[in-house]
């Protein structure tokens, strides 16, 4: 499903000022990481502070990695999320069980039949394709073979979100070569994990806005 306009999600937000700046620059969605193993993890109180500064029409997405059901329910009870992103080995049934639209992240490992896996998550509102790493579940800054992502965009009825190794220097190429529904990035606009760099954020959106309509 190729879009007429490429959307942007800035993930790994930990500070209200970063959320406000990203939204001002044109982010369509902001991501909060509820995974203790991440350097960008936030708690519910931090999430509430970030939620409070997000303007209308900017979505808040909560990221989880192989969570327990009670963990997700606790976050949903504590802060309003517009969407949930599952970044582990969750089943389609688990992902769909919370009554909230969900994104299923697929880490593109060698030999993985990505189109077949996408088909099993037909209940998702979008599929996120990210680089595979043996240790980290995301935010690695690594890039995978984008030709596979372009193939998925052409063949899948679900919106495809491209992640992994994105930054200002390759934003235009990513949009032109893959034509994804959205770009999702974290480390490519940071000065350190969880701290967004205003200059890198601005440079990224300047590039994206050259080509998106």
Reduced to 3 states (helix: H, G, I; strand: E, B; else coil), residue 76 is helix
Annotated catalytic residue, options 18, 95, 130, 184: 130
- H helix or E strand, kind and range, residue 6: none
Contacts of 18 by beta carbon, 8 Å cutoff, 6+ apart: 10, 195, 196, 201
Which of 13, 62, 184 minimizes the C-alpha distance to 175? 184
First CA to last CA across the chain, in angstroms?
16
DSSP code per residue over 23-59: HHHT-SEEEEE--TTSTTB--HHHHHHHHTTPPTT-E
Told to judge if 95 belongs to the known catalytic residues of this protein, a careful annotator would answer: no
Question: Residue 65 has which token pair?
Answer: 């990695």
Catalytic-labelled residue, pool 11, 83, 95, 152: 11
Rg (CA), the chain: 16
- What's the CA gap between 155 and 4, in Å, rounded? 16
Distance of CA 130 to the CA centre of its chain: 9
- Among residues 208, 202, 166, the alpha carbon closest in space to that of 187 is found at 166
Clarify whether 184 is annotated catalytic: no
Question: Catalytic residues, which ones?
Answer: 11, 130
């Amino acid at each position: 499903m190729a879009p007429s306009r490429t959307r942007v999600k800035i993930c790994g937000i930990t500070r209200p000022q970063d959320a406000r700046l990203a939204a001002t620059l044109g982010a369509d969605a902001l991501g909060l990481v509820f995974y203790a193993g991440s350097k960008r993890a936030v708690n519910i109180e931090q999430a509430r502070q970030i939620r409070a500064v997000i303007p209308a029409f900017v979505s808040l997405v909560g990221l989880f990695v192989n969570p327990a059901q009670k963990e997700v329910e606790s976050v949903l009870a504590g802060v309003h999320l517009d969407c949930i992103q599952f970044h582990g080995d969750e089943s389609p049934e688990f992902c769909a069980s919370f009554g909230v639209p969900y994104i299923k992240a697929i880490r593109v490992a060698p030999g993985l039949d990505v189109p077949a896996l996408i088909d099993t998550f037909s209940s998702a509102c979008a599929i996120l394709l990210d680089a595979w790493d043996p240790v980290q579940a995301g935010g690695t800054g690594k890039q995978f073979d984008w030709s596979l992502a372009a193939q998925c965009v052409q063949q899948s009825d679900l919106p495809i979100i491209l992640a992994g190794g994105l930054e200002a220097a390759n934003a235009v190429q990513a949009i032109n070569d893959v034509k994804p529904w959205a770009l999702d990035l974290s480390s490519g606009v940071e000065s350190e994990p969880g701290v967004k760099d205003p200059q890198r954020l601005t440079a990224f959106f300047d590039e994206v806005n050259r080509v998106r309509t």
